[in-house]
Amino acid sequence: MIQGTGSHVGKSVLTAALCRVFADKGVRVAPFKAQNMALNSFITREGGEIGRAQAFQAFAAGISPSIHMNPILLKPSSDTGSQVIVHGKVQGNMDARIYHFKKEALRETVRESLAFLRERFDLVLMEGAGSPAEINLKDYDLVNMGAAKMAGAPVLLAGDIDRGGVFASLYGTLALLDEDERPYVKGLIINKFRGDISLLAPGLAMIEKRTAVPVLGVIPYFHDLYLPEEDSVGLRRRMGTPDGVIRVGVIQLSHISNFTDFDILAMEPDVSVEYILPDDSFEGLDALVIPGSKNTLTDLARLRETGIDRKILSFAEAGGTVVGLCGGYQILGKSIRDPEKVESGMGTIEGLGLLDTETVMATEKTTTLDTARRVEGDPKERLEGYEIHMGVTRRGEGSRPLFRIVSRNGTPCDVADGAVNAHGNVWGTYLHGIFDNDAFRHDFLNALRERKGLPPLARSGVFHRQRLLESVERLARTVEAALDMERIEEIIRRGITP
């Protein structure tokens, strides 16, 4: 199990790296995170929703994602409450206090998924959440030491030296563990190091002496890796080419979700992706995107409070390209109704009115892996994406569909999706991952280039998957070289014995 001294210290990435390292050795390996709190999610072949990080770790391991790799997913919908997803399906919205009372029942869910994976794989690489030293949550823990005990898994504790205070973080975390928890920690990892490693030697020797736990490696800081972020802690204000020829602005909603939709845009030549806050100017933007949201009605109300709604309308009226994905698609319509109070108590709220659509929030969540085709385009071309939404959207006569979905979760169908306005400069869709389709993405960017009088760029084939594979390989080789893999393999063989 990989645990960390806090959030965003590199647990997810280290787990993914080790998944690839062991898979390359011929080990059947699977990732596992008992409970994940994240707004970036993914749909498995079972049609269930899991954290995006576990889907990426499965990709690194060379296997298909499963709901058992992340049996409990929490998607924050307010400061005190989350949508609770168990084995891929929504169980409802709960505040923290109510959720904690359900933890004992959920332990059986975690045990079930652990057993499922252990029966099918040689090695399960577990990931913790936050820190195991959150002493106020000890009684309810089922994702850090609670999960390690359940599985009998030895723990490697990672700390982030880039943010400073790594030795204090490692020492303090171990000091706050209970007596019966400390023997589980078999090694320390220092992550995100920049500079001359020899200067770190005195600190490594001292932390080993004071904790009696060996340092198993120092991992260098990575640059230019194409890896999906798990949550908004890792969201960067600007990505891609500085001052890119094509500038794409993404509205930074308060409850932004699945913002990994835009990572691939930032990997294209001469493209910059910028997250837009209320006071930011739209000047110079070539396209504006309203992303997914875990609380669409609240985020729409916030757009009005801050005045961004008027700026979006002016941008569209001037002919600017405006795109809405999932919750952003709903926001672009005429209205959103929530009669069952699925997301909030607002009831009905007026949308931006840029698309002739109306949305009604539903109590049943749509979670599907989709294959689609463009309504206007090569009928043989197929696009891949996934849907994660509570709403049902209807088009009026003023909008035409954008896609035809030809299969959901492997079952053939013929369903219209999305909408585009009469002028073609405003469109929306429920399909996440649409820009991961190389042909669609390049056509989108080349249309923006044409408006600026720039020559089109040639399509680059399997750009997305190729970049992802290259990043995974580079990640795995770097981590493998930095860690004492012989000792780690011995720790796995020995388990939690002294």
Q: Cα 26 vs. chain centroid, distance in angstroms?
A: 28
* CA dihedral for 331, 384, 127, 121, sign (positive or negative): positive
Q: Name the catalytic one among 19, 68, 326, 442.
A: 326
Q: Which of helix, strand or coil describes residue 478?
A: helix
d(CA 60, CA 80): 34
Q: Report the alpha-carbon distance of residue 269 to residue 240 in Å, rounded.
A: 8
Helix 52-61 × helix 463-482 angle, to 10°: 80
Residues 6+ apart with CB under 8 A from 320: 282, 285, 286, 287, 288, 425
Distances (CA, A) of 160 to 3, 215, 217, 403: 12, 13, 12, 44
Tokens standing for residue 408: 């959901």
Helix (H, G, I), strand (E, B) or coil at 219: strand
Q: Indicate the angle between helix axes 463-482 and 11-24, nearest 10 degrees.
A: 90
Question: For 130, which DSSP code?
Answer: S
Q: How far is CA 278 from CA 253, 307, 318, in A?
A: 10, 7, 19
- Alpha carbons 286 and 226: distance in angstroms, whole number: 23
Specify the length of the chain in residues.
498
Active site residue 432: yes
What contacts 258, CB < 8 A, 6 or more positions away? 39, 40, 41, 52, 291, 292, 325, 326, 388, 432
Alpha-carbon torsion (306, 263, 71, 187), positive or negative: negative
User: Within 237-319, where are the H helices?
Assistant: 263-266, 296-306, 308-317
**Identified catalytic residue from 255, 432, 442, 464:** 432
- Catalytic-residue membership of 87: no
Interatomic CA distance for residues 50 and 59, integer angstroms = 13
Residue 121 CB-density burial (10 A; 0-12 exposed, 13-18 middle, 19+ buried): middle
Cα atoms found within 13 Å of the Cα of residue 453, Cβ hemisphere only: 0
Cα angle value 52/72/60 (rounded, 5°): 35
Coil/strand/helix, residue 442: helix
Annotated catalytic residues are 326, 432
